[in-house]
């Protein structure tokens, strides 16, 4: 994927999203005339996929003095070990101390999403995955969430803003709401086919009103060769999608001559559900992953000072001085 260009918001640059004590610290140091060159190291509490570092770099590029800075980092999308230093900043402390909150926050949230996506990707062993979880997060982070899912390995995402950030086309099927408004699955699918440009794949949703197998056959008969896939999304009230249901729909579609129609599964998809479908031999052609990714727990990141004015120092519990990490590249 091509990396996007991030632009820090004014709220971040002005420190409004920072902890108040950092703003006070900068204020006091300024009045005391203290602005030593200091080295801050950032590391995660657990292993995962690093994400957000591009956005952090965009922020640092705006605030660090060009002639007195040195920044080392791992690249976006790399795996990282627990407690591994992924970012090291050396610069006058007043230039960046205020942004400790934002740096930690960007990395925590984005790496949490990317790592969850990677777990699904590893379980799926090559079967395509689409991020479908934007309804699980606040709209203000929809873009970075879907972007992080793609960094973590998803093949697509459903939000317009996330797809734009990741440099891909957004993916979608037909929502239950449209079928309910139109009153019939076949009717809705035919309308979709009528108005959508040809490059949009025809993927029908087949569990709204009728038995999934019956409805699959109905939409396949209506669209014929044009039907790309059916999506199974049986709600938990009806026992969720089972591996046997996928097999049955596949068999009935094949018997009726619709071997070209793919089966796409959504609803509570998570690594163990993916593994269950795969180990049961269910012929799934794609998964839609929702809240497993979007509701993933952020990964804690910590930022610590390890050198001040060239001298090793650290708070109790940390080792003073720079922690060597040959995987880091100088980025600034």
Subset of residues 167 to 206 that bind its own copies, contact rule: CB under 8 A: 170-183, 191-192, 194-196, 200
SS3 of residue 88 by DSSP: strand
Q: What are phi and psi of 179, to 5 degrees?
A: -65, -40
Does the footprint of its own copies cover residue 29 (CB under 8 A)?
yes
Give the largest Cα separation in the chain, rounded.
Answer: 81
Q: Restricting to residues 81-100, which ones interact with its own copies according to CB under 8 A? A: 93, 97, 100
Considering only the stretches 64-72, 119-127, 257-265, 293-301, report the one whose residues sit in contact with its own copies under the rule CB under 8 A.
293-301
CB of 319 to its own copies, least distance (A): 4
CA distance 120 to 154: 9
CB 114 within 8 A of CB 44: no
| Residue in 110, 168, 227, 253 binding its own copies, rule: CB under 8 A | 110
Output b/e per residue, 161-181; b: 16+ Cβ within 10 A.
bbbebbebebbbbbeeebbee
Does the footprint of its own copies cover residue 294 (CB under 8 A)?
yes
Considering only the stretches 60-68, 71-79, 297-305, 324-332, report the one whose residues sit in contact with its own copies under the rule CB under 8 A.
297-305
Does the footprint of its own copies cover residue 16 (CB under 8 A)?
yes
Residue/partner pairs of 207-211 with CB below 8 Å, 24 or more apart: 207/232, 207/233, 207/234, 207/235, 207/238, 208/176, 208/179, 208/180, 209/179, 209/184, 209/185, 210/185
Could you count the other beta carbons within 10 Å of the beta carbon of residue 203? Answer: 23
Which CB, 125 or 141, lies closer to its own copies?
141
Considering only the stretches 35-43, 67-75, 118-126, 269-277, report the one whose residues sit in contact with its own copies under the rule CB under 8 A.
35-43
CB of 117 to its own copies, least distance (A): 16
| Residue in 60, 86, 142, 274 binding its own copies, rule: CB under 8 A | 142
Which CB, 239 or 326, lies closer to its own copies?
239
Q: CA 80 from chain center: how many Å? A: 16
Considering only the stretches 71-79, 121-129, 131-139, 258-266, report the one whose residues sit in contact with its own copies under the rule CB under 8 A.
131-139
Does the footprint of its own copies cover residue 37 (CB under 8 A)?
no
**Which position has the token pair 């509570």?**
268
Does the footprint of its own copies cover residue 46 (CB under 8 A)?
no
Counting Cβ atoms within 10 Å, is residue 281 exposed (0-12), middle (13-18) or buried (19+)?
exposed
Does the footprint of its own copies cover residue 324 (CB under 8 A)?
no
| Residue in 6, 12, 154, 266 binding its own copies, rule: CB under 8 A | 12
């Amino acid at each position: 994927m091509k990396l996007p260009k991030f632009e820090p918001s004014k709220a971040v640059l002005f420190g409004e999203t920072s902890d108040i004590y950092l703003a006070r610290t900068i204020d006091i140091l300024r009045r005391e005339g203290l602005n030593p060159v200091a080295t801050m190291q950032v590391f995660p509490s657990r292993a995962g996929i690093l994400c957000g570092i591009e956005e952090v770099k965009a922020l640092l590029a705006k605030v660090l003095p060009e002639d007195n800075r040195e920044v080392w980092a791992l690249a976006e999308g790399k795996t990282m070990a627990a407690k591994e230093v992924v970012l090291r900043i050396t610069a006058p402390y007043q230039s960046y101390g205020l942004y400790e909150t934002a740096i930690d926050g960007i990395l925590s949230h984005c790496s949490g999403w990317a790592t969850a996506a990677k777990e699904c990707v590893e379980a799926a062993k090559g079967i395509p995955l689409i991020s479908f979880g934007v309804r699980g997060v606040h709209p203000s982070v929809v873009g970075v969430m879907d972007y992080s899912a793609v960094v973590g390995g998803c093949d697509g995402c459903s939000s317009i803003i996330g797809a734009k950030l990741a440099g891909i086309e957004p993916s979608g099927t037909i929502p239950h709401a449209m079928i309910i408004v139109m009153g019939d699955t076949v009717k809705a699918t035919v309308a979709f086919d009528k108005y959508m440009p040809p490059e949009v794949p025809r993927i029908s949703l087949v569990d709204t009103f009728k038995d999934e197998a019956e409805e699959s056959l109905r939409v396949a008969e209506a669209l014929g060769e044009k039907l790309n896939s059916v999506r199974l999304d049986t709600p938990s009230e009806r026992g969720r999608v089972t591996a046997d249901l996928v097999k049955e729909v596949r068999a009935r579609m094949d018997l009726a001559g619709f071997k070209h129609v793919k089966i796409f599964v959504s609803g509570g998809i998570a690594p163990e559900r993916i593994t269950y479908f795969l180990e049961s031999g269910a012929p799934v052609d794609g998964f839609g992953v929702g809240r497993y990714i979007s509701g993933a727990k952020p990964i804690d990141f910590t930022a610590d000072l390890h050198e001040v004015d060239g001298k090793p120092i650290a708070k109790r519990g940390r080792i003073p001085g720079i922690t060597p990490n040959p995987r880091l590249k100088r980025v600034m």
